[in-house]
Amino acid sequence: MSLKKLIQWSQTEFTDLPWRNSRSLYGTLVSEIMLQQTTVGTVKNHYERFLKRFPDLASLAKASEEEVTVAWKGLGYYRRARNLKKISEYIFNQCGGEFPSTAEKLQEIPGIGPYTSHAIIAIGKDARGLAVDANLERVIARLYGLKFEKGPKLQKKILELFNSEKIFSDFNLSYRGLNEALMDLGRTYCQARKATCDLCPLKNDCLAFKSKKPLSYPVEKIATLKEKEEHELHLLRFIVIKKNKVLAYKKTDKEWLAGQYEIPTLVISTTDKKLKQYPFLKSKVLDGKLKKYKTSITKYKIVNSILVADQKLLKTMGFTSEVEWRDLDDDHANLSTASYKALKIFQAD
């Protein structure tokens, strides 16, 4: 198999990724958690800044959750920032600051699953590991002609094949190089909806290419009715402002945007009767006159109406969560993107 060619291609083409310049287990942990659900382009803009702020495991473990979420700004999916912080605390406090040495031991740490553990071992240590996410799952399914439904079961199967040396069996090069090259291939030539096989360094070995139907690997999952479900949500966003401070509340672990701050928010209406993310508005509001903007989160299409109010009005209308005055000069009060957008629209008036 032309894996040497593949690795050479990757090392020639993708030298500018900052997390590949200087290697460490800590740097790999940070970059891999950033790269989950975020594009390489976005992570490139934030990785070095984050590492400057938290240069090692100890500095991250000792920081407050708020400091970490502020440094995470721009990367989205803040749950990952809090997870990263918890992992660093665990390794610092429970493992004497040393990363466990195998993927299995790493997986004993809450928040580290098969993908991250293998990424740390393979990329951070350059030892035997295979970091199988949706990207690698696709490339490997095509390369080895694995016609199974994509998803966690296929990822587990690929790891089993790897552990029993049924795939990449004679591999004796760098596992770091292999993992990174497969990641690069999945991002460039071997994409979900487009396979540029003619340029691919693996085309002579690839069973999906030989089948002439590369896109049919792995098998697409048929979405269930529940997965297809979408909901309309109409929110009322309160702006209560005093000099340079805004009233906001911290989202709990059970809520969307956990750990971030939101301006007080109530549900005006929704098609999802089970929604528990925000309390419902108790009294009527002349919504037609309010400024509006659109956002979305998971399966919800959201229309946000902005109401400038005083603190007393909140309780009357049904908002009873504990609020605090947040300084807008302090990194925009660490507000969520949707709350900050409301504020920008209000300030533009």
Residues annotated as part of the active site? 32
Q: Which is nearer to ligand SF4, 142 or 251 (CB)?
A: 142
Smallest distance from the beta carbon of 300 to ligand SF4, in angstroms? Answer: 35
Do the Cβ atoms of 180 and 14 come closer than 8 Å? yes
Structure-token pair, residue 16: 């500018």
Q: Which is nearer to ligand SF4, 62 or 213 (CB)?
A: 213
Question: Applying CB under 6 A, which residues contact ligand SF4?
Answer: 139, 142-143, 189-190, 195, 197, 200, 202-203, 206, 208-209, 214
CA dihedral sign, ordered 74, 79, 83, 86: positive
Cα–Cα distance for residue pair 145/159, rounded to 1 Å: 15
Cα–Cα distance for residue pair 89/59, rounded to 1 Å: 10
Q: Which of 190, 73, 78, 195 is nearest to 140 (CA)?
A: 190
Q: Which is nearer to ligand SF4, 200 or 335 (CB)?
A: 200
Structure-token pair, residue 141: 């399914």
Structure-token pair, residue 199: 């340029």
Smallest distance from the beta carbon of 220 to ligand SF4, in angstroms? Answer: 15
**Measured at the alpha carbon of residue 93, what is the angle toward residues 89 and 95, in degrees to the nearest 5?**
105
Smallest distance from the beta carbon of 203 to ligand SF4, in angstroms? Answer: 4
Cα–Cα distance for residue pair 261/253, rounded to 1 Å: 12
Q: How many CB atoms lie within 10 A of CB 230?
A: 11
Q: How many CB atoms lie within 10 A of CB 166?
A: 11
Q: Which of 249, 277, 236 is nearest to 335 (CA)?
A: 249
